[in-house]
Amino acid sequence: MAEFSIIDTYFNRKNQDSVDLGVGDDSALLTPPPHQQLVICADTLVAGRHFPLDTNPHAIGWKSVAVNLSDIAAMGATPHSILLALSLPQIDHAWLKGFSQGLYDCCDQFGVRLIGGDTTQSPHLTLSVTALGWVDTGLAVPRSGAQIGDLICVSGTVGDAAFGLKHLGHDLQKRLDYPTPRCVLGAALKGLANSMIDVSDGLAQDLGHILKASNVGAKLQLENLPLSTALHALNDEQKWQYALAGGDDYELCFTISPQNYEKLLQKQLDDSISIIGTIQQQRGLTFEKDGVDHLLQFNGYQHFA
Average pLDDT per block of 10 residues along the chain, 305 residues long:
60 65 74 93 87 90 97 97 92 92 96 89 91 96 97 98 95 96 97 97 95 96 96 94 93 98 94 97 91 68 45
Query: Is residue 100 annotated as involved in ligand binding?
Result: no
Q: CA separation (Å) from 212 to 70, 84, 151, 172, 173? A: 21, 32, 17, 31, 32
| Residue range(s) of every CATH 3.90.650.10 domain in the chain | 150-292
The domain 150-292 having CATH identifier 3.10.440.10: the answer here is no
| Burial state string for 86-108 with b = 16 or more CB within 10 A and e = fewer than 16 | bbbeeeeeebbebbbebbbebbe
Query: Is residue 117 annotated as involved in ligand binding?
Result: yes
Query: Is residue 108 annotated as involved in ligand binding?
Result: no
Q: 183: closest CA among 241, 101, 269, 105?
A: 269
| Residue range(s) of every CATH 3.30.1330.10 domain in the chain | 3-136
Query: Is residue 271 annotated as involved in ligand binding?
Result: no
Please provide the CATH number assigned to the domain covering 3-136. 3.30.1330.10
pLDDT at 38: 96
Query: Is residue 301 annotated as involved in ligand binding?
Result: yes
Query: Is residue 169 annotated as involved in ligand binding?
Result: no
d(CA 73, CA 156): 14
Identity of the amino acid at 252:
L
Query: Is residue 8 annotated as involved in ligand binding?
Result: no
> How far from the centroid of its chain's Cα atoms is residue 205's Cα?
14
d(CA 167, CA 219): 30
Identity of the amino acid at 251:
E
| Phi, then psi, of 173 in degrees rounded to 5 | -60, -30
**Kind and range of the H or E run holding 132:** strand 126-136
Which residues, including other chains, have CB under 8 Å from residue 127's CB and lie 6 or more apart? 44, 45, 60, 64, 84, 85, 86, 87
pLDDT at 92: 85
pLDDT at 290: 85
**What does the angle CA 65 – CA 131 – CA 14 come to, to the nearest 5 degrees?**
80
Query: Is residue 13 annotated as involved in ligand binding?
Result: no
d(CA 101, CA 30): 24
pLDDT at 298: 63
Query: Is residue 43 annotated as involved in ligand binding?
Result: yes
Ordered strands of the 113-121 beta sheet: 36-46, 126-136, 78-88, 113-121
pTM score: 0.90
pLDDT at 294: 74
pLDDT at 197: 98
- CB of 66 within 8 A of CB of 106? yes
Q: 212: closest CA among 283, 301, 152?
A: 283
pLDDT at 10: 53
d(CA 24, CA 81): 15
Query: Is residue 50 annotated as involved in ligand binding?
Result: yes
